[in-house]
A = this chain, B = another copy of it.
Amino acid sequence: MKSLPQPRKMPRQARSQHMVETILEATARVLAERGYAGTNTNVVAERAGVSVGSVYQYFPNKDSLITALHERHASQMYAVVDKVLDGAGAGGLRARLADMVRALLEAHRVEPELHKVLEKEFPFFDAPHDESPADHSFFRRVRELLETHAGEIAPRDRDLATWIVLRTLETLVHAAVIDAPARFSTEDIEQNIVDVLAGYLMPGAPRAA
């Protein structure tokens, strides 16, 4: 089981930072347009307007490109959720869950094509969920949320509950964006995802319209 490929170096200079960004952007575009099979370092380099050598200056190998993209995605998603939870609107846990679901769905609808490949290709890499820093943060944040509403939720093992929630949230959001038959309306799907989570955490609670 190979470990998560890491960027070769932590680029500190602005120029390098920019280079990394450019390469990652190119990777995203190529990946979105041509899928994993059609993506190769030479094309990425060309698309980034950079030489292959430069790509290898910052990424030790091809897979690290994808991994980095994933990490970026995870960070972005975490940021989205973080912001929404910080925004601490009114209402109880259900409202918070609804906020998260809506925010994530929105975020995913920005570049559906990219997320599509990202989701599709992710499992391709032996990157267990718990090796990503962003995923850790995500886990912690949700866990905190459950703690905060400890009184309202049914599951005993809060750790397990967090894990279940994350897994479910992830799949359903992705499925909604990628897979969902056209006959299901966006609102209904959103609603139902919330229902799944709320139903699990607060079985007795009344279900909103």
Measured CB to CB, the closest approach of chain B to A43, in angstroms, equals: 15
Residues of B within 8 A of A168 (CB): 168, 171-172, 196
Residues of B within 8 A of A175 (CB): 167
Measured CB to CB, the closest approach of chain B to A138, in angstroms, equals: 14
Residues of B within 8 A of A172 (CB): 164, 167-168
- Give A159-193 as 1s and 0s: 1 = Cβ < 8 Å from B's Cβ atoms: 11101100110111001000111011000110011
**For the complex, what is the distance from the CA of A167 to the CA of B119, rounded to whole Å?**
14
Asked whether any CB of chain B lies closer than 8 Å to the CB of A92, the reply is no
Residues of B within 8 A of A99 (CB): none
- Check A160–B179 contact: CB distance below 8 A: no
**For the complex, what is the distance from the CA of A111 to the CA of B192, rounded to whole Å?**
33
Total chain A interface residues with beta-carbon distance under 8 A: 46
**For the complex, what is the distance from the CA of A155 to the CA of B194, rounded to whole Å?**
12
Task: Tell whether A203 pairs with B192 under 8 Å between CB atoms, given A160-B184, A172-B164.
Answer: no
**For the complex, what is the distance from the CA of A121 to the CA of B155, rounded to whole Å?**
32
Task: Tell whether A192 pairs with B124 under 8 Å between CB atoms, given A171-B171, A199-B203, A207-B203.
Answer: no
Measured CB to CB, the closest approach of chain B to A205, in angstroms, equals: 7
Residues of B within 8 A of A121 (CB): 123-124
Across the interface, name the chain B residue whose C-beta is closest to A129: B179
Across the interface, name the chain B residue whose C-beta is closest to A184: B160
Residues of B within 8 A of A123 (CB): 119-124
- Give A111-133 as 1s and 0s: 1 = Cβ < 8 Å from B's Cβ atoms: 00000000111111010111000
